[in-house]
Amino acid sequence: MQNIKDIPLFNRPREKLIAQGAEVLSDTELLAILLGSGVKGKNVFQIAHSIVRRIDRHREKLNVKNLETIEGVGVAKACLIVAAFEFARRRLFRDSVTVQRPKDILPLVSHIADKKQENFVCISLNGANEVIGNRVVTVGLLNSTQVHPREVFADVISDRAASVILVHNHPSGILKPSPEDLSMTKQIVEAGRILGISVLDHLIITKKGYLSFKKKGLIE
């Protein structure tokens, strides 16, 4: 992995966050910002990548002790990460969100309604329809984004999700699926069937409201 100093200034994590928003950064880039710097023999991206892998393996056991076993992570960095996760948990996930109808997830995705580019979001749900994952999969051009099923389901499989809800915004403000939206949704639904992961709905949202593929009969 590259050192930060070898990356063009505009493409460095901090500069990307300022210019484009935190949601466009990968998990590794977000952690790199938290860590600030690497150590001798390991750059900050290598350390961040190791932490992401450790977190994925020990979701319920994230603590200072197991983070310290990662080369390049001392007490200070471990404490920073654990504190950041606990702060986010307390502020953003005070209660589990159970999805019974499309509007239940709108508070989780309202931040993309007025984006100038299409943001494609995937919400992972467990067997009780509780939200267990919420991530931006891709950020597209002014009025389009290309999404492949492998990008949608890569993290969903790690979540051990039973189902997903897809969401994307229309910068145009038009609450009508495009032919590309319909084709993409069909492809993702079919991939989900093969994987045993149901696509419950696909929402298009704008500042004016939302459209549910399920309610429109566009998803069986």
Ranges 94-98, 112-116, 173-177, 213-217: which has the least confidence: 94-98
> Do 157 and 200 fall into the same domain?
yes
Report the C-alpha gap between 121 and 102 in whole angstroms. 14
pLDDT of residue 41: 83
pLDDT tier for residue 159 given thresholds of 50, 70 and 90 = confident
Residues 112 and 81 in one domain: no
* Same-domain status, 140 and 203: yes
Residues 133, 47 share a domain: no
Tell me, what CATH number does 131's domain have?
3.40.140.10
pLDDT of residue 85: 82
Per-residue pLDDT at 2: 60
Q: What confidence score (pLDDT) does residue 198 get?
A: 96
What pLDDT is attached to residue 192? Answer: 96
User: Domain count of the chain?
Assistant: 2
181-190 contact pairs (CB < 8 A, 24+): 182/218, 184/146, 184/147, 185/213, 185/218, 185/219, 187/149, 188/147, 188/149, 188/152, 189/219, 189/220
- Which of the given ranges, 10-19, 22-31, 51-60, 165-174, has the highest pLDDT on average? 165-174
Has residue 96 got a pLDDT over 60?
A: yes
Give the pLDDT score at 111. 87
- The answer on pLDDT for 206 being more than 90 is yes
- Section 152-159 average pLDDT: 91
Alpha carbons 206 and 114: distance in angstroms, whole number: 6
Look at residues 92, 126, 146 and tell me which one is the last residue of a structural domain.
92
Nearest Cα to Cα of residue 164 among 173, 177, 172, 155: 155
Least confident stretch, 138-142, 169-173, 190-194: 138-142
Residue range of the domain that includes 42: 4-92
Q: Does position 184 have pLDDT exceeding 70, yes or no? A: yes
Query: Is residue 108 domain-shared with residue 208, that is, in the same domain?
Result: yes
Q: How far apart are CA 39 and CA 59, in angstroms?
A: 25
* Residue 92 pLDDT greater than 90, yes or no: no
Check whether 147 has a pLDDT greater than 70.
Answer: yes
Longest dimension (CA), the chain: 57
Kindly state whether residue 160 falls inside one of the protein's structural domains.
yes
Residues 135 and 162 occupy one common structural domain: yes
Cα separation, 33 vs 51, whole angstroms:
13
Residues 89, 77: contact at Cβ < 8 Å? Answer: no
Global confidence as pTM: 0.60
| C-alpha distances out from residue 112 to 55, 101, 149, 206, Å | 26, 19, 21, 8
In this prediction, residue 1 has a pLDDT band, given cuts at 50, 70 and 90, of low
pLDDT tens, position by position, 43-75: 888 999 999 888 777 655 678 888 898 999 999
